[in-house]
Amino acid sequence: MKTQFPEHFLWGGATAANQIEGSHISDNKGLSTSDIQPFGSFGALHPRQEGDFNIKDVAIDFYHRFKEDIALFAEMGFTCLRISIAWSRIFPHGDDAQPNEAGLAFYDQVFAEMKKHHITPLVTLSHYELPLHLAEHYQGWSDRRLIGFFEKYAETVFQRYGHFVKHWLTFNEINITLHHPFTGSGLPDDCSEQTRYQAIHHQLVASAKAVKLCHEIIPDGQIGNMLLGAMMYPLTCHPDDMMKTLQQNREWLMFGDVQARGYYPSYMTRKLKELGVTLEITEEDKEALKATIDFISFSYYMTGCASADPSQQDKANGNMLQMVANPHLDASEWGWQIDPTGLRYLLNFLYDRYQMPLFIVENGLGAVDTVTASGEIEDDYRIQYLNDHLVQVGEAIEDGVDLMGYTSWGPIDLVSASTAQMSKRYGFIYVDRDDEGNGSLKRTRKKSFYWYKEVIASRGASLKKPGRF
Ligand code: BGP
């Protein structure tokens, strides 16, 4: 079916501070957990040693080039840009009494530039980083005091930017602490289940408190959560695989359930008991959790399978997690299985479950790009991937899903979160920088740049039937 996306639909791209900004200690910025992950989230157990190179120290130098980059996004017709604020620019240690004015001023300029180009900001409060001091001196989110520090940070940025920024997200892929505790919560990756779930609880409370603050400070604002949409299919229709699938999906859906409904789902009682976890949940926490989000946002890259059969060892790599491979799907160069139909499935699934507006805030293909002798980048594989996913988004809209917008991941090449590579490129805009940090940082429009521009201008009417490129 040919769909024209709704007029109010937000089109754009998504980024994260630590993957684009660079200038990791400029203007009083404090170190963040990301700054000591030179090998990315997958290498969190090998923290930075003296003299180690971290490509994120410069990243793509958005800190100095944001005007040029935002102008390029505007040229593509973006109506929305997702960025994150680096918490450690605003509160360098996380527990500081006063915010860092230079950090606040940087985002003033970024938002002013977006305003100039009529681009709606979508801002993540915490995208895979927290001030390193909080990880080192408080054991990250396992310490209840982080709720208060986060509230103060959220209040500061809501007050400062709320006149212009109306769309907010609390924690990027809040379910990540299940798989990468350091990346998600500043905890050692081998922490106990007790510590992990207590940290998760603190984040859920902090998220709800930010929701309440946002509603108070920005009455016309909207604030959502952000899930890693890790949809699992049963590997077979064996009842045991069905049950395993239900349980695995509940692992990540639990976060949405708490954030959308305001309390823990009943299935968590048994789950926590089986894990031997006793959560400390105060009456104040229960009250705080009642502040529920306005919309559900999520990242979507792939689906995976669940199997109750321990001999099923054919694993697929995922963005941050591993799952059983689906024999019906192809995979990207990094082993992420490509499933456009799964996006329609997930949109319907989430809308059925929550009956709340949805927002796709990440989707894209990480691929190696080659620059031709004449300086062009013919990224037809990326166009194919995005086209086929957007066709399914159109189908979901026809199915009746209330979808606010779509921001593809990495509209400009940036540093990979899992592997800290530059060579894993997602962008419509090529950035001249390699994995060792060589390159001029020059920006070049790829073939997909012109393709996405046309998709946006035609509100999806230019999309082709899957497999037509
Ligand atoms: C998501 C993260 C992003 C982003 C993306 C792609 O999990 O929210 O920060 O990086 O995945 O992953 P990668 O960069 O590892 O290719």
Q: Which domain holds residue 317?
A: 10-457
3, part of any domain: no
Tell me the CA–centroid distance for residue 392 and ligand 1, in Å.
21
- Which run of H or of E encompasses 376? none
**pLDDT given at position 46:** 72
User: How many angstroms does the Cα of residue 344 sit away from the middle of ligand 1?
Assistant: 20
Atom of ligand 1 nearest to the CA of 16: 9
Residue 417, domain member (yes or no):
yes
Distance separating alpha carbons of residues 207 and 410, to the nearest angstrom: 25
- For the segment 309-348, what is each residue's pLDDT rounded down to a tens digit? 988 867 777 655 778 999 999 999 999 999 999 999 999 9
Q: Is 338:301 a contact under the CB 8 Å cutoff?
A: no
Give distance in angstroms: CA of 380 to centre of ligand 1. Answer: 21
According to DSSP H, which parts of 330-405 are helical? 340-354, 380-399
Ligand 1 pocket (Cβ < 6 Å) reads 16, 19, 128, 172-173, 228, 299, 319-320, 362, 366, 409, 416-419, 424
pLDDT band at residue 59 using 50, 70 and 90 as cut-offs: very high
71: pLDDT strictly greater than 80: yes
The verdict on residue 467 lying in a domain is: no
Q: Which residues pair with 299 in a beta bridge?
A: 228, 362
- Alpha carbon nearest to ligand 1 atom 10, residue: 417
Q: pLDDT tens digits for 163-202?
A: 999 999 999 999 999 999 999 999 999 999 999 999 999 9
Which tokens hold the place of 182?
């350091």
Cα separation, 116 vs 57, in Å, equals 28
**Cα–Cα distance measured from residue 325 to residue 322, given in angstroms and rounded to the nearest whole number:** 9
CATH code for the domain in which residue 407 is found: 3.20.20.80
Instruction: Say yes or no to pLDDT of 50 above 90.
Output: no
Residues noted as catalytic: 362
Ordered alpha helix ranges (H), 276-379: 283-289, 340-354
pTM (predicted TM-score): 0.97
Residue 447 lies in a domain: yes
Using CA atoms, how far residue 400 sits from 13, 116, 277, 358, 442, in Å, is 24, 34, 40, 12, 42
pLDDT for the residue 322: 73
Contact assessment for residue 308 and residue 238, using Cβ atoms and an 8 Å cutoff: yes
Alpha-carbon Rg for the chain in angstroms = 21
- In degrees and rounded to multiples of 5, residue 421 shows phi and psi of -100, 150
> Among the listed ranges 2-11, 56-65, 245-254, 280-289, which one has the minimum average pLDDT value?
2-11
**CA atoms of 128 and 140, how far apart (whole Å):** 12
Q: Are 462 and 4 in contact (CB under 8 A)?
A: no
The three-state secondary structure class of 423 is coil
Q: How far apart are CA 393 and CA 464, in angstroms?
A: 13
- The tally of domains found in the chain comes to 1
Average pLDDT over the chain reads: 96
Q: Do the domain assignments include residue 5?
A: no
Spacing, Cα 71 to ligand 1 middle (Å)? 24
Residue 274 belongs to some domain of the structure: yes
Digit-coded pLDDT (tens) for 204-240: 999 999 999 999 999 999 999 999 998 999 999 999 9
Phi, psi of 231 (to 5 degrees): -65, 130
DSSP code of residue 172: T
151 located within any domain: yes
Residue 347 lies in a domain: yes
The ligand 1 atom at the shortest distance from the C-alpha of residue 364 is: 6
Three-class DSSP category at 206: helix
CA 268 to chain centre: 24
Whole-angstrom distance, CA of residue 299 vs CA of residue 173? 8
User: What average pLDDT does this structure show over 351-373?
Assistant: 98
